[in-house]
Amino acid sequence: MILEQPTTEADRSPFLAREKPVCNESLLRRARGLGRFRVAIAQAAAPLPLIATRQAMEADLVEPVLVGDRDAILAAAAEVDWDVSGIEIINGEGEEGAAVAAFAAARAGHVDAVMKGHLHSDVLMRVAIDRDRGIRGGQRFVHVFHLTVPGSDKPLLISDAAVNVVPDMATRQQSIRVVADMLAKLGIARPRIAILSATETPMASMASSIEARQLADWAVEAVPQADVRGPYALDLILSSDAVKVKELKDDPVAGRADGIIVPDIVSGNALFKALVYVRGACAAGVVIGGKVPVMLTSRADPPEARLASFALAAIAARAQTAQ
């Protein structure tokens, strides 16, 4: 038997952040102010989803519904020393069965959101988009990350870094709408949204730069409640110093964006993970576009990110209910 050796400081990359992520308190306060919401935990029979759910209950965010094999859920709950005798359990056999049962509860109005438990994301989302068994609501599914860094309440939203591999123009238009609406729900009166490329000048040889300008032009009339600009390289999205050097000081978005629309999943995934691992950001993620929000938590997510995802889903769920 080979035992895994603990990571030492010498093994640790010097590029990784030393700070632990912190679940943003203003995000939690905003979510708590909306009251508890009901969440189906699909395939709940594992320590990580149960611990995250218990923390969300203790934070006064959720009323959980545990979905999966009842005996396995009870055994996993005993393993983490949690008495779940007063919590509803819905039976669902296997990964797909648990996903089907969770989304059936959502379609019936029994829960306000669904969280991924101990199952694969592709299984959960395959059921979510199924016309008969899922939660399709007439809009495209897009994923949004909400990131904050220690010591700051300012959020940065990134879409789409987890669901759409190469989103077409219509999907990115939906992402812009979703990000603008979410930022408004977070208290930002006029959101500033940047469209990512590798240049601020549209170039025929770089499709993402041409598409970014087309999206920005489209948003002028389609999303009038936000300032949407692009294309931008990342330095012009985040750095006021870069804005000064490149003489874009009159641009309302450059250097101070609240949200970023990425051209594909590779750039979005790399960007959000860089902010998490290099900057120590706390990343909350939620899929929008169905009848209820879906949380695609990862085994690598720290407890702080899972709690933040519950809070973000609560805000998204209440926003959908109000529509």
pLDDT tens string 6-57: 556 666 788 888 778 889 899 999 999 999 999 999 999 999 999 999 999 9
**Residue 314's pLDDT band (boundaries 50, 70, 90)?**
very high
**264 token code pair:** 């594909």
Tell me how far apart the alpha carbons of residues 40 and 56 are, in angstroms, rounded to a whole number: 13
Under 8 Å CB-to-CB from 230, ≥6 apart: which residues?
194, 195, 196, 197, 212, 213, 215, 216, 261
**Residue 246's pLDDT band (boundaries 50, 70, 90)?**
confident
User: The dihedral of CA 102, 106, 107, 109: what is its sign?
Assistant: positive
Please say whether the beta carbons of 143 and 137 come within 8 A: no
Q: What is the mean pLDDT of the chain?
A: 91
pLDDT at 232 over 90: yes
Q: What is the DSSP letter of 212?
A: H
Q: What is the mean pLDDT of residues 66-78?
A: 96
pLDDT given for residue 5 in this prediction: 47
pLDDT given for residue 4 in this prediction: 47
pLDDT of 45-63, one tens digit each? 999 999 999 999 999 999 9
**Residue 2's pLDDT band (boundaries 50, 70, 90)?**
very low
Percent pLDDT > 90 in the chain is 81
- Length of the chain as a residue count: 323
- N- to C-terminal Cα separation, the chain: 56
3-state secondary structure of 95: helix
Residue 8: CB atoms within 10 A of its CB come to 7
Q: What is the DSSP letter of 206?
A: B
pLDDT at 97 over 90: yes
Q: What are phi and psi of 170, to 5 degrees?
A: -65, -35
Please say whether the beta carbons of 147 and 282 come within 8 A: yes
Of the given ranges (15-24, 70-79, 117-126, 283-292), which has the lowest mean pLDDT? 15-24
pLDDT given for residue 214 in this prediction: 98
**289 token code pair:** 């576009």
pLDDT given for residue 7 in this prediction: 56
pLDDT of 191-218, one tens digit each? 999 999 999 999 999 999 999 999 999 9
- Domains of the chain with CATH codes: 19-138+290-323 (3.40.50.10950), 144-285 (3.40.718.10)
**Residue 322's pLDDT band (boundaries 50, 70, 90)?**
very low
Q: What is the mean pLDDT of residues 118-129?
A: 93
pLDDT at 320 over 80: no
Percent pLDDT > 70 in the chain is 95
CA distances for 208 relative to 164, 166, 203, 205, angstroms? 15, 11, 9, 9
